[in-house]
Chain A
Amino acid sequence: MSEVLTVDCLGRPCPVPVIELARALPGVAVGEVVDVLSDDPAAALDIPAWCRMRRQEYVGATERVNGSAYRVRRLV
């Protein structure tokens, strides 16, 4: 499995995780994914909502020791 680009937003409140996601996603090819690491409860809503607004794919969240990793696939 190839390494996934991970954006570490631990300790940073929304909207920072969404802003960092928006910055990072153009850096991967269409079809590739980005993980956003966040411990802000709002990220669980705001990252899927961002994907809906930007027509990207929200893959899902996995719990980590600190916070969760929110995976997003670049579609456009």
Chain B
Amino acid sequence: MSASVDGGYLDAAAALPLSSAAREALLAALEDGWADPSRLYGAARRARLLLEGAREAVADVLGARPDEVAFTGSGTQAAHLAVLGVLAGRSGTGAHVVHSAIEHSCVLAAVAHAAGEASAAPVDRLGRVDAASFGAALRRDTALACLISASHEVGTVQPVGAVAERCGRVPLLVDAAQSAGRAPIPTGWALLTASAHKWGGPPGVGVLAIRTGTRWRSPLPADEREGGRVPGAPGLPQILSAAVGLQAAAAEAASEDARLRPLVDRLRLGIAARVPDVEVVGDPDDRLPHLLTFSCLYVDGEALLTALDREGFAVGSGSSCTASTLEPSHVLVAMGVLTHGNVRLSLHRGTTESEVDRFLSVLPPLVARLRREAGAEAL
């Protein structure tokens, strides 16, 4: 992690600054990787070599073949192309989509945009989809199934393998944005998407992997770029940086997992012990290594975020008052848990034990003050 992360940044699930490996690669690539890789002269051949090297590196981490991997402009664009392209390629089968109730909004937006009909598979109180009920929602006209690898809001790992088995011939799209570079990539996917700025690569790079044999047709006017999957010249320097960043993240994923899990456990136990009337949500064990979500009864989420920001802590939230809509997070709604006063903490390579302890000492008086101000302290 570079020095540009201030202590108190606990929103790694939204974005990370460039890792030092990714930064070095970006600077080198700005010098060396500027030419258009589709041309036939020397500088272009060099660019093409670099691009294909990046593709191989990313494919290796994701468990894909290089020719299955395309680079996009973001994780969102990758998810949009995945959904729209399968619906275009499998229109003969139907236009029905099955997805978990806790997909990222970019997947839900693409489904709402292009699917004829959609079924949401429910999750339990811990935020885990049930493979049997997911399978029961599949129909003869189901063109696509979508399941996030692990919840981006509460961290609960999803039964991707068991769902993939039930999908049979229906291609399964797995949004692995929170897992890539941190946790094992599940198997059984037909399409996989990820986002570089969540693993310490630069913003502006997403990954779309499509298994050979999956029926997919470009929903956009296609050109020769990225195997006909993503039109327009790829951002080569950022892609090279993203690939190096992913390799670096994957190389230390196991040791970071071992370091971050106890810190998240410390937060989980500490928050529950020190703050009364808190609901810590998500699976306590089978979860992402770096993410913890809790809701504080009687507390306004926006007020809590603002107060934490004043103490130097950057955190996420699924409370309705912190979003652009009036609706609470669809993930918390699907789980049936408290939605107000919600905070999502996501840790990273730069997060230290003393930072965690400072959070644990700052949070209880803040929550107590906000409850007092709302006239809710003795309720």
What's the nearest-Cβ distance from chain A to residue B370, in Å?
A: 10
The answer to whether A42 and B379 touch (CB under 8 A), given A50-B338, A53-B297, is no
Residue of A18, A22, A49 near B336 (CB, 8 A) is A49
A15 at the interface (CB under 8 A from B): yes
List of B residues within 8 angstroms of A16 by Cβ: 374
Residue of B279, B374, B376 near A53 (CB, 8 A) is B279
Give the CA-CA distance A22 to B336 in the complex, in Å. 19
The answer to whether A22 and B379 touch (CB under 8 A), given A15-B340, A45-B336, A49-B336, is yes
The answer to whether A46 and B340 touch (CB under 8 A), given A15-B297, A41-B328, is yes
Chain B proximity mask over A39-74: 1 for CB below 8 Å, otherwise 0? 011100110111001000000000000000000000
List of B residues within 8 angstroms of A22 by Cβ: 298, 376, 379
Chain B proximity mask over A4-27: 1 for CB below 8 Å, otherwise 0? 000000000111101100110000
Centre residue among B295, B326, B376, B379 by max chain A CB count within 10 A: B379
Closest chain B residue, CB of each to CB of A48: B336
Contact between chains at A15 and B374 (CB < 8 Å): yes
Centre residue among A13, A40, A42 by max chain B CB count within 10 A: A42
Give the CA-CA distance A19 to B337 in the complex, in Å. 16
Contact between chains at B379 and A23 (CB < 8 Å): yes
Contact between chains at B297 and A14 (CB < 8 Å): no
Contact between chains at A49 and B338 (CB < 8 Å): yes
Contact between chains at B374 and A19 (CB < 8 Å): yes
Contact between chains at B320 and A15 (CB < 8 Å): no
What's the nearest-Cβ distance from chain B to residue A45, in Å?
A: 5
List of B residues within 8 angstroms of A15 by Cβ: 297-300, 340-341, 374, 376
Closest chain A residue, CB of each to CB of B321: A13
Give the CA-CA distance A15 to B367 in the complex, in Å. 13
